[in-house]
Every structure is written in structure tokens, then in C-alpha cells.
Structure 1
Amino acid sequence: MTLGVFLAVLGAAFLHALWNALIKLGTSKVGGMVILSIIEVPIGLAVVMLTPAIDRAAVPWVIAAGFTHFAYKFFLTYAYDRGDLSRVYPIARGAAPMIVALFGAAFLADAVTRQEYLAIAVLAAGILLMARGVFTAGEDRRLLPFAVGSACATATYTLIDGMGARISGAPAAYVAWVFVADGTFFTLGMLALRGWDVIPRNWRAWRMGAFASAASYGAYAVSIGAMTLAPIAVVAALRETSILFAVLIGWLAFGERMSRDKAVAALVIVAGVMLTRL
């Protein structure tokens, strides 16, 4: 991996943590996520116009991914309503690869190596340590089921996207259509649940939401581009430094409490995620 690719992947990791931080920063987390979702639709359509068409057989996978992304955003938003970025993000981001690994070991024919079993154990230890901090620090315990729900949704759409992108014959276009479906489903779903008042009316919220949406797509696009220039496993592992960026943003920018246990838990989760990727 060249220095340029290395820095680009670190930048993508930072962008992923940044868009989560922007959602957390807003006074209305749901409103910010709705704006992000609305902006996703034109971004996705613009990419669709510039890429080859997907195979029609991939359409059900796009729809399934859109609904699963709805669940991901729903749980993540409510988790941020109840907990710190530096607490929620590592659990939601770190538990997802553990769930995928456990699912693969239990239901798929793929052989599980010793390293993968070690990764599952390390991830479980880090997540339990991070979750323990919720109780010892007197934080809102309701963030845990929402953070874990977000992780389950992430694990699910990871499996769906893996199959859908292969069937589509055009991965870039497939992801663009997922952006369109994701943005449409979440926006309509929140309007149905909350009404029109869920859409923020102030310019600052729209500016932050639009920037978060662009950062979300940028994080993905840079990562995919890097995977064409460097080993996929190395890129995937390096991308998980987003957990550390989120913890640092929460601590330095938001003034969130940073205990030794939280810092250690974040490092353990990053180590476990990297083990699942390499």
C-alpha cells in the first residue's frame, strides 16, 4: 500500500466518523438523519446516470438493503439520543463484524480459522467492556439495545450488499441504487412516524445534514477506490480506525468523558475488528 492510498483510507475512516458526529451534534438526531437521507437520493441518482445499469435480478436485493438501512439508521439515531458518540459508535461499529463472523460460523459453509475465533473473542471482550462502562458511569442504559440493534442491521445489510453487488454485475451502480432506496425509505418512514415536523426548518441543520450525506458517500467511494489499488483486507482493516476517530471527536470536540476503561475498550474493539478483516 502506497502512502497516498494509506492516507486516503485514513481520510475515509475520518469521514465516516465525521458524518456520525454531525448527526450526533444536531439538536434533533432524527431530523439530521432525515436530511442526510433526503440528500442521499440525488447523490445516488447522479451516480446511477454515470454508471452501467444493474441486472434486474439485483432489484430485490436493493429493496431489501434499503429496508435494512432504514433499521440501521433508526436504531443508530435513537442510540445517539441516549448516549455519547464515543460510547455508541464503537459498540455499533464493532459488534457488526462480530455478528457477521458468528453468523458465518453457524450458518454458512465457510471455514472459520483460529484467527477469526480469536477476533470474535477479542471483539466480545471489547464490547462487554464498553457496555460495562454504561453502568459504572451512570449513563442511560437504553442506549445499549439501540446500539446493538444498529450493529445487527449493519451485519444484515453487509450480507445483503455482498450478495446484491455480485448479482448486479455493476457494484457502483448497485450501491447508488441502495443510496436511493435507503434515502427514500428512511425519509418516508420518519414522515409516517413523526409527521412533517420531523424535517428541520433551519438552514444550519440542512447545511450539516447535506455535509454529513456527502461525507457518508465520500467515505464509501474512497474506500472502494482504495480497494482497487491495495489489498482489500488491508484497506478494510485500516478503515476501522474510524472507531478511534469517533472516540477522539467525542472526547476533544464534544467534551465527552474519557475514562481509562473507555479508551481501553475502544482499542480492544479496533484490534478485534482488524483481526476479522486481515
Structure 2
Amino acid sequence: MLSQTGGLVLFAALLHASWNAMLHGNRDRFLSMTWMSIAIAAVSTLVIVFTPLPAAAAWPYIVASGLVHIVYNMSLVRAYRRSDLAQAYPIARGSSPLLVTLGAALFAHEAIPPLHALGIAMISGGIIALALQGRHVSRAGALAALTTGATIALYTVIDGIGVRLSGGEALAYTAWMFMFYWLMPVLFVAVRGLPALTTPVWEAPMAVGSSFAGGLVSIAAYGIVIWAMQSGAMGTVSALRETSVVFAVLIGRVFLREAVSGKRWLACLVVTAGAICLGL
């Protein structure tokens, strides 16, 4: 992977960790995810007005990815309601690069150089080590986390193939895929009603504002990933993206004054070494 592309993907990982930190204090995950989705869909609506249509071959992938993203969003909302899954969720972030690499090999016939394969394995192993330190994860929680990781891998592989068929229109591809995020407020209103969506705008404006801002950061973060997958190997891009877990540890230490054990620092070093392998 070109160093410039790798640098942008690492920046996307930082953005991903940042919006997760912004949303850390919002307890109503369904509401937060919905306002994030509104921000993402609103920006996407504006973008499609000024960009050409992706090539026809990309449209089945746009539709498939958009629907899988909605399934993933709803799964994530349910995940945060279960304490064991909330603990095991980082396993999903660690397992997804390995699953993406396998999916890319099967469906896009990508070959990964040995050094890059080592880097992907180190990043995945380091992230899973971060997730498991000091925590007991139930079998059900681990299975649910791996299922979430499979969902992440599924939409990543779909987007990796789809953007390569878009005729070079990565921005348009991303925007049209994110148009499906308009389904999130529809689902929210169907479940809780319109007042539950609109009342927090004036009763809890900070929470809604952080969610909206998180959506803007999120679309930038994943937009970079989709752009990078036009030319970069999907597994490599996915692994670099998941270094966001390390950025989250650093953000927690510097800004939230969270304690970081020696074992956690060691796991972060393993992830960093894996990222260096991907840059060689």
C-alpha cells in the first residue's frame, strides 16, 4: 500500500476513535445512532446532487452494502444493551480484518504478501488481546462479537468490490450507499414515535449535537476507507482502520485520564508493529 494511502487510512482510524469518544457519554445508543445516521444521510443527499452517478455495475453492491450497514447499526444498538457483548465487542474489531482478508481472497482473488499477512495477524491479535485483558467474556458474548465482526467484514468486502466497479466515482459510491441511512430515523420513529426523536433536540441538545457531529466524522472516516479500497488490498485497509482501538486507548489516557496497564501498552505495541509491517 502506498504510504500516502496508508497515512490517510490511519487518519480515518483516528477519526473513528474520535467519534466513538464523543458518543461515549450518550447512554441512549438507539437515539445516538439515529441522529448520527441523519447527519450521514443529510450530507450524502447533498453530495449526490453534485457528483455523477457511479457506473451501473456498482449499483448491486451499493444496495447490498446499504442494507447490510442498517443491519449492522441495529445489531450494534442491541449489542450495547448486553453487558457481556459490550465487553466482547472489541473482538469484532479484531476479527474483522482476518475475515475481510479471507473474503477478499475468495471473492476478489486478492493475494496478500507474507509480510502484510503477518501485519494483519499482529493487528488482529493485538486488538483481541486488548479486548480480553482483565475481562471474562461469555461464550454467548464472544459468539455475538464474532457475528458482529462478520457483519463488518461483509460490508467491507462488498464496498471493496463495489467501489472498484464504480468507474472511479468513490465519493458518489459512498454517498449513494449512505443514502440508506435515511432508514434509521424511519425505524426509530416506527419503534418509539416521532416525539422520542425530536424532543431531545431541546431537552438534551448536547447529546444530540455530539451524535450529529459523530455522524459527520464517521462519514469522513469510512469515506476514506472506501476510497483507499479502490487500489489497496481490502484486508490491509481493514487492518489499518482497526488501529482505531489503539487511538481510543491513547485518547482515554490523555484526555480522560484512564489508567493503562503495562499489558495494554504491550498489546498497543503489537498493533503498531503490525501497522508498520503493512507499510513496508
Which of 185, 188, 198 aligns to 1:187? It is 185
Aligned to 1:176: 175
> Using a 3 Å threshold, how does the CA distance of structure 1 residues 47 and 185 change in structure 2: closer, same or farther?
same
Unaligned stretches of 5+ in structure 2? Answer: none
Which of 265, 268, 275 aligns to 2:267? It is 265
Query: For residues 212 and 40 of structure 1, what CA distance do their matches in structure 2 show?
Result: 9
TM-score, normalised on structure 2? 0.75
Query: For residues 172 and 59 of structure 1, what CA distance do their matches in structure 2 show?
Result: 14
| Secondary structure in structure 1 of the residue aligned to 2:23 | helix
> Deviation digits for residues 66-86 of structure 1, max 9, x if unmatched?
1211233234344455579x9
Amino acid at match of 1:176: A
TM-fit CA distance, 1:154? 1.7
> Deviation digits for residues 5-60 of structure 1, max 9, x if unmatched?
99866654322211122223212122111100011111001111111112344332
Query: For residues 142 and 198 of structure 1, what CA distance do their matches in structure 2 show?
Result: 31
CA RMSD of aligned residues (A): 4.0
> Deviation digits for residues 179-236 of structure 1, max 9, x if unmatched?
111x1233333444555476361212221111111111233456678899xx957x94
Q: Does 1:247 align with 2:219?
A: no
Query: For residues 105 and 9 of structure 1, what CA distance do their matches in structure 2 show?
Result: 21
Aligned to 2:206: 204
TM-score, normalised on structure 1? 0.76
TM-fit CA distance, 1:140? 8.2
Amino acid at match of 1:122: M
> Using a 3 Å threshold, how does the CA distance of structure 1 residues 78 and 252 change in structure 2: closer, same or farther?
farther
Amino acid at match of 2:265: A
Percent identity, aligned pairs only, is: 35
Query: For residues 87 and 138 of structure 2, what CA distance do their matches in structure 1 show?
Result: 11
How many positions carry a matched residue from both structures? 271
Contact 1:98 1:123 in 2 (8 A): no
Query: For residues 107 and 5 of structure 2, what CA distance do their matches in structure 1 show?
Result: 35
Amino acid at match of 2:41: V
Aligned to 1:58: 58
Query: For residues 223 and 128 of structure 2, what CA distance do their matches in structure 1 show?
Result: 32
Query: For residues 50 and 24 of structure 1, what CA distance do their matches in structure 2 show?
Result: 34
Contact 2:15 2:218 in 1 (8 A): yes
> Using a 3 Å threshold, how does the CA distance of structure 1 residues 251 and 79 change in structure 2: closer, same or farther?
farther
Aligned to 1:73: 73
Contact 2:10 2:240 in 1 (8 A): yes
Q: How does 1:133-148 map to 2 (within 5 A)?
A: 133=133, 136-137=134-135, 144-148=142-146
Unaligned stretches of 5+ in structure 1? Answer: none
> Using a 3 Å threshold, how does the CA distance of structure 1 residues 29 and 263 change in structure 2: closer, same or farther?
farther
> Deviation digits for residues 116-147 of structure 1, max 9, x if unmatched?
442454245324423432xx345788764454
